[in-house]
Amino acid sequence: MKTRVRADNGVAGLTILLSLVTMLFVIGLLVMIFSLMGGELRDATFTTTAVAVTNESGFYLNGTTYTVDGASANDFSAFTVTAVHNATDGAVIGVGNVTAGATGTVVNATSTWNGAYAVNVSYTYNYGAENTATGVINDTTASISTVTDWYPIFIVIGAMVVLILLTVIIITAIRGSGLMAGESA
């Protein structure tokens, strides 16, 4: 009975190269899955808080833009001016006389009101509240996503292994062919 010997002629290093490509693909797939899961977990643990501020004082609406104190909150959104009052006598100034910007700005919107005196503004807004869970998830997701920074190093090392393997095969083939004279002492 004749036994067949497996010969991988002409494919030196191919299995290593294919293993490297497969490894990089699997690592990329896992990084993507964990990053998507981290994003979903962050959204699930993130909380939004509604705030109402009454009579914030100390500004004039005489052609300048005023930014409310709450605008510095994390993920500031849903800003609405609910009331504007004269700071001196408490007279109501209609909210139609001001324009509220999405970033927390308040501007005199009419020419009928001169805005020469200080006003108090009442407003509502929402802000996002980071908590321990969202902080941990953000850090973990950011760390996992940096794995792909190592891809060029993996590729270079894989190419070096394949080239070394090819060099060894070529040297072995030359020695086996008899083209090289015996070694001298």
- In sequence order, the 6+-apart residues with CB closer than 8 A to the CB of 57 are 87, 118, 119, 120
The CA radius of gyration of the chain, in Å to the nearest whole number, is: 35
According to DSSP H, which parts of 75-182 are helical?
Answer: 132-145, 151-177
At 10 the pLDDT is: 56
Q: Does pTM surpass 0.75?
A: no
At 1 the pLDDT is: 61
Q: Domain-by-domain residue ranges, the chain?
A: 14-44+133-177, 47-129
pLDDT for 34-68, tens place per residue? 888 888 887 777 777 788 888 887 777 666 777 88
pLDDT for 1-33, tens place per residue? 666 655 555 566 677 778 878 888 888 888 888
140-143-32-44 Cα dihedral, nearest 10 degrees: 20
pLDDT for 136-175, tens place per residue? 888 888 888 888 788 888 888 888 888 888 888 888 888 7
At 113 the pLDDT is: 59
Compute the distance between CA of residue 9 and CA of residue 126 in angstroms, rounded to an integer: 68
DSSP letter for each residue of 71-97: GGSTT-EEEEEEEEEETTT--EE-GGG
Residue 21: closest CA among 170, 161, 144, 168? 161
Question: 34 or 176: whose pLDDT is higher?
Answer: 34
